[in-house]
Amino acid sequence: MTNTYDNPEFFAAYAKMTRSQEGLAGAGEWPDFQPLLPALTGKRVLDLGCGYGWHCRYAVEHGAASVLGIDNSQRMLDEAARRTNDSRIRYARGDLATFDRPAASFDVVISSLAFHYVQDLTGLFARIGTMLAPGGTLLFTIEHPLFTAEGHEQWVETKAGEPVWPVDRYFDEGLRTTTFLGQPVPKYHHTLQTIVSAVLGAGLTLEALVEPQGSAADRADRAPWTRAPMMLIVRGDKPAVGGPHA
């Protein structure tokens, strides 16, 4: 499937978003994501759907031995390379639908807002489970199933004029084509059961499941994502050999 991030109009609009301008500090989920990261010192890190490479640079700034950032948009990879000056980080073009490396290649796998572009999550997580070394961690964000279910991703108004987030077709997993930044964007809706089962099925233990709801200021403003969840953060750990879960 062609990647919308390689469309010049979409890429230009994406560049104007707060997370593109300010990086992790401008990413609303970062305060919930950061505390869930394992210690990165000396670790081999993989970032799936790395975009501009914010998480890759954060990882080396916090001691990672090496970071591989994978994305299938050449424009995003070029932007990541332009912003990076560290020989411990390598970027490569790859599709999450097929990306693979030998067993135990990484200690930490990160992914931020890329897994909803993958149809077969169970297959992806099985590969991640193998690529992770024993004792390793998968930490990812994905668009929330209540956000992706209905498909058009727009608030609707009740008869009383109240905005509500529509949830429908929840159990009908699969392709949704939404409009984002003025372009049609294909993505995949997965139920919560599928996401969590894919983590467990990959042999990982569920360590955290968080639904970010923004800052206190966002909540005071009743910002949209404080009313209906937009994202899910999940951490799964691979048991250490001989460890408590082995």
Ligand X SMILES: C[S@@+](CC[C@H](N)C(=O)[O-])C[C@H]1O[C@@H](n2cnc3c(N)ncnc32)[C@H](O)[C@@H]1O
Q: Is 147 helix (H, G, I), strand (E, B) or coil?
A: helix
Number of shown-chain residues binding ligand X (CB under 6 A): 19
Question: Which residues, in sequence order, are CB contacts of 190 under 8 Å at separation 6+?
Answer: 116, 121, 142, 145, 148, 173, 198
Residue 5 in the binding site for ligand X (CB under 6 A): yes
Query: Segment contacting ligand X (CB under 6 A): 59-67, 94-102, 126-134, 165-173?
Result: 94-102
Q: Who contacts 225 (Cβ-Cβ below 8 Å, separation ≥6)?
A: 28, 212, 213, 214, 218, 231
Of 44-52, 121-129, 146-154, 164-172, the segment contacting ligand X by CB under 6 A is 44-52
Regarding 76 and contact with ligand X (CB under 6 A), the answer is yes
Q: List the one residue from 7, 72, 137, 178 that touches ligand X (CB under 6 A).
A: 72
Q: Do residues 68 and 77 lie in contact, with contact meaning Cβ atoms separated by under 8 Å?
A: no
> Among 11, 117, 125, 140, which residue interacts with ligand X (rule: CB under 6 A)?
117
Q: ∠ CA 49-55-61 to the nearest 5 degrees?
A: 150
115 CB contacts (<8 Å, ≥6 apart)?
A: 48, 49, 96, 121, 124, 140, 141, 142
Question: With binding defined as CB under 6 A, does residue 178 bind ligand X?
Answer: no
Q: Which candidate, 2, 180, 14, places its Cα nearest to that of 74?
A: 2
- Please report whether residue 46 would count as binding ligand X according to CB under 6 A: no
Q: At closest approach, how far in Å is the CB of 239 from ligand X?
A: 27
CA dihedral over 165, 122, 70, 241, signed as positive or negative: positive
Asked if 112 touches ligand X (CB under 6 A), the answer is: yes
Residue 28 interacts with ligand X (CB under 6 A)?
Answer: no
Q: How near is the Cβ of 109 to ligand X at its closest, in Å?
A: 12
**Measured from the CB of residue 184, what is the shortest distance to ligand X in angstroms?**
14
Cβ 107 to ligand X, closest distance in Å? 19
Based on the shown chain and the rule CB under 6 A, indicate whether residue 96 belongs to the binding site for ligand X.
yes
Q: Can you list the alpha helix ranges (DSSP code H) found in the chain? A: 8-15, 18-22, 30-33, 54-61, 74-82, 121-131, 145-148, 192-201, 216-220
CB of 49 to ligand X, least distance (A): 3
Residues that bind ligand X (CB under 6 A): 3, 5, 19, 49-52, 54, 71-73, 76, 95-97, 112-114, 117
